Amino acid sequence: MELYELTAHELMDKLNSGEITSEEITKSYFSRIKEKDNQIKAYISLLEEEALDKAKKVDEDRKLGKKVSKYAGIPIGIKDNICISGSKTTCGSKILENFVAPYNATVIENLNNEDMFFLGKTNMDEFAFGSSTENSAFYPTRNPWDLDRVPGGSSGGSAAAVAANMAPWALGSDTGGSIRQPSSLCGVIGFKPTYGLVSRYGLVAYASSLDQIGTITKDVTDSALLLNLIAGHDEKDSTSMNLEKKDYTLSLVNDVKGMKIGIPKEYIGKGINDEVRESVLSVAKKYEELGATIEECSFEVGKYAIGAYYIMATAEASSNLGRFDGIRYGYRTKQFNNLKDIYRNSRSEGFGAEAKRRIMLGTYVLSAGYYDAYYKKAQKVRTVINKAYNELFEKYDLLLTPVSPITAFKVGEKIDNPLEMYLADICTVPINIGGIPGMSIPCGIDSNGLPISFQLLAKPFGEETIIRAAYTYEKNFNFRENYKPTFKNSK
Ligand code: GLN
C-alpha cells in the first residue's frame, strides 16, 4: 500500500512510531499529484517547497527527541478561499488571481500550531458560487470516479483531491452544501459543523450568516481529529461561540442503540433519484438492525429553503463582493480614464458570469421596494425553518436524508441552466439556514459506478451524535474498501 492511500490517522500512527518520516509522506503526495492532477485539476496552486522544508524540520525535531504534536508533519489540502499568509488566495476568481494573503486564517493558525503544513490550494467555484466547480475562473475539476463528470462544488477541488489520494484530508467551506455535496459526489466524508463552532476569520466571505469551514476526510476518525483542531472560540470572529473545548474523538463509539433517527418524507419522495432513495433507505434499515429507532417524519417547510437560500445568499454575496473594486484588492483594469471606469471595468473583467448573476440578483432583492417582498420574506422563512428543526430535534437525535438528489453529472450538463443547478442543492441548503451540523457519508454506488451518500443532521452543537452514528455505520459496513475511485474516462 502506498503512503498516499492511508488516512491521516494511519499516517499519524506510522509517523509517531518512527516507521516513516514526514518527508516520505510529503514526497509520496507530490508524486501522486504529479501523476494524477494534470487530469483531475484539483489544485490551483501547490506549496511543494514550503511543505518539504516543514516536513524535514519536523523529522529533525522528532529525531532529536523534541516533544512534538501528534499531528506534526501531516499535510493537508486547503480550499483556495482560506487565507494562508504569503500564499495566493484566488477564490477561483480572476479578480483575485494574483492576490497574496497578508495573514493567516484562524484555522490555518490552528494547523500551524500543531506543525501541520499545506500541500496546496484547491480549486473551487468562483467565490464558492456553484455546485460543480465549473465556475472556477481557471478550469473545472474532474470527478476521480469518472473524468467526464463534475466532482460537485464548490469545494470540488478539496473533495477530488482527497478522493484521488492527492491529500490525506482537506478543509473546505460550506454555505449551502459546498462541503457535503462534493464529498457525496466523490465518495468521501464531508462535515459541516454548526455555524459558530469554527472561526471564519480569514475565510473570504460568500454569505457571512451561512458560511462555515469544515472537513473533508477519508474516514470518520479523521473528521473527529481534524474538527478537534479547528473548532473553538476566536475573538477575531464575533459569531464564533465561546464554548468549552470538546474532544470529538471520544464520540468514536460503535453503538447507536437507543438513538432515535427521523427521516423527513419530503427527502425520500419526488425529485430524488430512485437509486439514491433506495440507497438512503437501506441505510435506515441498517441503523435499525444496529439498534436505533427509525421513524418517518415531516419537514414540510423545507420546500421554501431553496428560494429563501438563493435570496439571502445572493444578498449577502452582493454586499461582500463590494470590496473588490479594483483599488483595494486584486485585479485592476487597464482601460480607464476616471475612478468610475476603474470600478466598472475591473469588476466587469474580473468577475465571471455566475458572480455577476449573483451580484445582480442580490442587489435586486435588497433594493428599495423589493427588500420587504424578497429579503425580509426570506428572513421570515429562516425563522420558520429554525422552528421546524427545533421541533424535530426535540423528538429525534438525528435526521437522515440524501445529500444530493442525483449522483455526479456530466461536465457541461447543467452549466447553462443555473436554475437547475440551484435546485440540485435541495437537500443541503436548509441545514445552513438552520445553522445546524451535517455530515455526508458514502453508502452506495449507482448503476453508472458513481458514489451515493447519506446525510446525518443534528441539533446545533450536536456534532458528537453525528460522529457517533457515522462511526458506527463505518465500522459495521466497512465502506472504505468500496470507495476507491475508478478514474473512468481517463485519457
Ligand atoms: N451550491 C450552493 C451555491 O451555489 C452552495 C455553495 C456553497 O456552499 N458555497 O450557493
Q: Which amino acid is at 171?
A: L
Cβ burial, residue 103 (10 Å; 0-12/13-18/19+): middle
Counting the structural domains of the chain, the total is: 1
428 lines ligand 1 (CB under 6 A): no
Helix and strand totals (H; E) in the chain: 15, 11
Is 154 catalytic? The answer is yes
Which 3 state secondary structure label does DSSP give 291? Answer: coil
Contact by Cβ (8 Å): 145, 449: yes
Residue pointed to by grid coordinates 478522493: 163
pLDDT for the residue 332: 96
Cβ burial, residue 377 (10 Å; 0-12/13-18/19+): middle
- Domain membership flag for residue 378: no
Ligand 1 atom with minimal separation from the 210 CA: 8
Nearest CA to ligand 1 atom 4: 130
Crossing angle between the packed helical segments 377-395 and 305-320, to the nearest 10 degrees: 120
177 lines ligand 1 (CB under 6 A): yes
310 lines ligand 1 (CB under 6 A): no
pLDDT for the residue 298: 98
- Domain membership flag for residue 362: no
pLDDT tens over the chain, length 491 residues:
899 999 999 999 999 999 999 999 999 999 999 999 999 999 999 999 999 999 999 999 999 999 999 999 999 999 999 999 999 999 999 999 999 999 999 999 999 999 999 999 999 999 999 999 999 999 999 999 999 999 999 999 999 999 999 999 999 999 999 999 999 999 999 999 999 999 999 999 999 999 999 999 999 999 999 999 999 999 999 999 999 999 999 999 999 999 999 999 999 998 999 999 999 999 999 999 999 999 999 999 999 999 999 999 999 999 999 999 999 988 999 999 999 999 999 999 999 999 999 999 999 999 999 999 999 999 999 999 999 999 999 999 999 999 999 999 999 999 999 999 999 999 999 999 999 999 999 999 999 999 999 999 999 999 999 999 999 999 998 667 778 999 999 88
Q: Exactly one of 158, 178, 404, 453 is catalytic; name it.
A: 178
pLDDT for the residue 193: 98
CATH of the domain at 92: 3.90.1300.10
- Domain membership flag for residue 124: yes
Ligand 1: which of 178, 318, 440 to mutate, judged by most atoms within 8 Å of the beta carbon?
A: 178
- Domain membership flag for residue 319: no
- Domain membership flag for residue 275: no
The closest alpha carbon to 449, from 218, 269, 185, 169, belongs to: 185
The closest alpha carbon to 123, from 152, 86, 87, belongs to: 152
Contact by Cβ (8 Å): 217, 249: no
154 lines ligand 1 (CB under 6 A): yes
pLDDT for the residue 395: 98
Chain center to CA of 142: 16
pLDDT for the residue 329: 86
What are the strands of the beta sheet with 260-264, ordered from one edge? 43-46, 117-122, 75-79, 170-174, 212-217, 189-192, 438-445, 451-457, 398-402, 260-264, 293-297
- Domain membership flag for residue 293: no
Q: Which domain holds residue 224?
A: 3-265+393-482
Q: How far apart are CA 484 and CA 491, in angstroms?
A: 19
Name the pairing type of β-strands 260-264 and 398-402: parallel
313 lines ligand 1 (CB under 6 A): yes
Contact by Cβ (8 Å): 392, 265: no
Cα 173 to ligand 1 centre (Å): 9
Tell me if the pTM is above 0.85: yes
Is 279 catalytic? The answer is no
Q: What DSSP assignment string belongs to 175-226? A: SSSTTHHHHHHHTSEEEEPPTTTB--TTBPPSSTTT-EEEEEESSHHHHHHH
- Write b or e for each residue in 353-362: b if 16 or more Cβ atoms lie within 10 A of its Cβ, otherwise e: ebbeebbebb
Crossing angle between the packed helical segments 274-289 and 463-476, to the nearest 10 degrees: 90
Q: Exactly one of 87, 93, 132, 154 is catalytic; name it.
A: 154
- Domain membership flag for residue 334: no
- Domain membership flag for residue 74: yes
